[in-house]
């Protein structure tokens, strides 16, 4: 009994379009998994979805007619367009959020009770949910968010017993062309929409409201992600967090008139924020442009070397084919010609390795130039951040001085009036009554703000350095991986050719 995907099973389920069965088996055995695009695991008695990690190019995956209970371990298959999970035991639609290129999804004949987990699948045109446990006809409204859905199968669910089932679905889903394998004709569509016209007005208004909220949320998330990438996430919320974490501020704000300078402080801080955000985002764009230019230059080098490699490889393949044909016609010259061909194979390996070494050298030179340019941008960012925090400290100092001056005025006013007794906050009463307590409170608040500004600067500059180092390490590891894979590919080519030549040579070697 097979319960999980093994390497042996995986390779046997690769779908390829090649000639002979022998050739097919060989291709399946040696084909890099990252190049596999189609897998069929139908009727394999699988209980789990696993061991698909390397299949980054997979486009079609058939897991139908198994014993799978849960959709899992598919989030990395970003190129998947067809997924068949029909005839399993799945109870919940989940784990599909990242499969945004999915066009055709079949969950036919499972144990699904609710329509969910499909929000991000905006490329989906065909969805089969027939023969499940869907009860509530109103759940169909969820599918309105799939704006490209054209083919839907729901037959065999309890909700289909409703006498208005087909009319309801057609009337509520936009642009549906086929329902339960039947064409949605214009006459049926017009009648259904007229029947549910009033209800749809409410539905559309609700969707419009939700769409506005979604857009606002997405814009906020997009900005949040951008600020994280550009190392602005601390600055964006610094002022508010500085006040929120200040226990003394909470006391002082209860004293009437004491923090009159706060609004001006906030406004000037917002100007300071806007200025540094603009400057850093400008540098961030330049960083991205620099990275893009670097990758373009690398790809140009690799493309040129690849052409040279393909030329050398093509020449050898033609030579090998020619030699094999010649020795079939004239076996007496076979051994000599095959030995020479083996030498040419070794020369091919050396040629390909030499081209790769040229790649490594030129990429290193490019990296040095890129690093020089990128380091300037990093230093620019550091200078902008330092200027920002210096201004922040200056504003904080002026604010603290203003509060101290205002405290004298407020305390004198309260001393000459009867309004002191009207204060409800006990801590505010104590501050107004005690000059030393007031001054200590103002100083403690100022110290807390200064400490927050200083620590935020240290963290921001440290993050800038970490991002720079992370980029360096990422590019380094990427190049090591590329070089390793290229060398492995060259050795594979050499060994494959060597194996073919040795197989031929064995025909000319006398048996012991």
pLDDT at 512: 42
Is 163 exposed, middle or buried, given 0-12, 13-18 or 19+ CB atoms closer than 10 A? exposed
Tell me: pLDDT of 437 over 50: yes
**pLDDT digit string, tens, across residues 271-280:** 999 999 999 9
Phi, psi for 55 (deg, rounded to 5) = -90, 60
Query: What is the domain partition of the chain in residue ranges?
Result: 7-195, 233-503
Q: Tell me the average pLDDT across 147-153.
A: 94
pLDDT at 20: 46
Contact 277, 232 (CB under 8 A): yes
**pLDDT digit string, tens, across residues 444-468:** 999 999 999 999 999 999 999 999 9
Q: Give the architecture-level CATH label for domain 7-195.
A: Alpha-Beta Horseshoe (3.80)
At 3, is the secondary structure helix, strand, or coil? coil
Q: Kindly report each contact of residues 293-300 with a partner whose C-beta sits within 8 Å and lies 24 or more positions away, as own/partner.
A: 293/370, 294/366, 294/367, 294/370, 297/366, 298/363, 298/366
Tell me: pLDDT of 172 over 80: yes
Question: Strands 151-153, 178-179: parallel, antiparallel or unpaired by DSSP?
Answer: parallel
**pLDDT digit string, tens, across residues 418-428:** 665 666 777 87
Quick one: tokens of 348?
Answer: 């091919």
Cα separation, 427 vs 433, whole angstroms: 10
Distance of CA 389 to the CA centre of its chain: 33
DSSP class of 511? P
CA 245 vs CA 39, 233, 241, 447, 453: distances in Å: 55, 17, 6, 12, 12
pLDDT at 511: 41
Token look-up 């764009």 returns: 285
Q: Tell me the average pLDDT across 393-407.
A: 95
CA 132 vs CA 111, 112, 176, 250, 283: distances in Å: 5, 5, 20, 57, 54
**pLDDT digit string, tens, across residues 8-42:** 777 777 777 654 455 566 666 667 778 788 888 89
Quick one: tokens of 265?
Answer: 């402080």
Calculate the average pLDDT of the chain.
89
Q: Tell me the average pLDDT across 340-349.
A: 94
Percent of the chain past pLDDT 90, that is, above it, reads: 65
Tell me: pLDDT of 89 over 80: yes
Q: Identify the CA nearest to 340 among candidates 329, 326, 352.
A: 326
Q: Tell me the average pLDDT across 237-246.
A: 93
Tell me: pLDDT of 236 over 90: no
pLDDT at 21: 52
């Amino acid at each position: 009994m097979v319960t999980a995907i093994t390497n042996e099973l995986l390779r046997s389920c690769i779908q390829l379009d090649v000639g002979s069965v022998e050739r097919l088996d060989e291709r399946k055995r040696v084909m890099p998994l990252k190049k596999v695009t189609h897998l069929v695991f139908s009727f394999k008695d699988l209980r789990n979805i696993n061991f698909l990690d390397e299949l980054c190019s997979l486009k079609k995956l058939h897991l139908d007619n198994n014993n799978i209970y849960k959709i899992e371990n598919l989030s990395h298959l970003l190129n998947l367009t067809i997924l068949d999970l029909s005839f399993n035991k799945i109870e919940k639609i989940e784990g599909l959020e990242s499969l945004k290129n999915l066009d055709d999804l079949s969950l036919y004949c499972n144990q699904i009770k609710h329509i969910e987990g499909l929000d991000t699948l905006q490329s989906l045109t065909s969805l089969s949910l027939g023969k499940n446990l869907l009860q509530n006809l109103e759940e169909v409204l969820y599918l309105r968010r799939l704006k490209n859905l054209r083919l839907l199968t729901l037959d065999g669910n309890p909700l289909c017993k409703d006498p208005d089932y087909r009319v309801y679905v057609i009337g509520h889903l936009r642009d549906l062309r086929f329902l339960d394998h039947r064409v949605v004709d214009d006459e049926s569509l017009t009648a259904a929409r007229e029947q549910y016209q009033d209800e749809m007005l409410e539905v559309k208004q609700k969707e419009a409201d939700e769409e506005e909220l979604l857009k606002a949320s997405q814009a906020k998330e997009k900005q949040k992600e951008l600020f994280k990438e550009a190392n602005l996430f601390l600055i964006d919320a610094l002022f508010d967090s500085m006040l929120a974490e200040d226990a003394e501020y909470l006391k002082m704000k209860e004293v009437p008139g004491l923090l009159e300078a706060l609004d001006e402080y906030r406004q000037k801080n917002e100007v300071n924020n806007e200025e540094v955000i603009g400057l850093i985002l400008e540098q961030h764009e330049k960083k991205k442009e620099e990275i893009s230019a670097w990758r373009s230059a690398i790809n140009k080098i690799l493309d040129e070397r690849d052409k040279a490699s393909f030329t050398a490889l093509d020449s050898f393949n033609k030579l090998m084919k020619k030699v094999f044909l010649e020795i079939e016609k004239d076996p007496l010259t076979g051994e000599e010609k095959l030995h020479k061909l083996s030498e040419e194979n070794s020369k091919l390996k050396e040629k390909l390795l030499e081209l790769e070494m040229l790649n490594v050298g030129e990429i290193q030179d490019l990296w040095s130039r890129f690093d020089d340019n990128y380091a300037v941008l990093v230093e620019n960012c550091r200078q902008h951040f330092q200027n920002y925090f210096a201004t922040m400290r200056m504003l904080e100092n002026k604010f603290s001085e203003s509060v101290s001056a205002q405290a004298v005025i407020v305390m004198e006013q309260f001393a000459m009036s009867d309004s002191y007794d009207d204060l409800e906050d006990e801590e505010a009463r104590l501050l107004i009554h005690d000059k030393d307590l007031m001054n200590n409170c103002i100083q403690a608040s100022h110290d807390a703000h200064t400490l927050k500004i200083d620590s935020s600067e240290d963290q921001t500059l440290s993050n800038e350095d970490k991002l720079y180092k992370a980029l360096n390490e990422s590019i380094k590891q990427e190049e090591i991986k590329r070089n390793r894979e290229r060398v492995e590919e060259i050795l594979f080519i050499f060994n494959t050719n060597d194996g073919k030549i040795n197989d031929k040579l064995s025909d000319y070697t006398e048996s012991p």
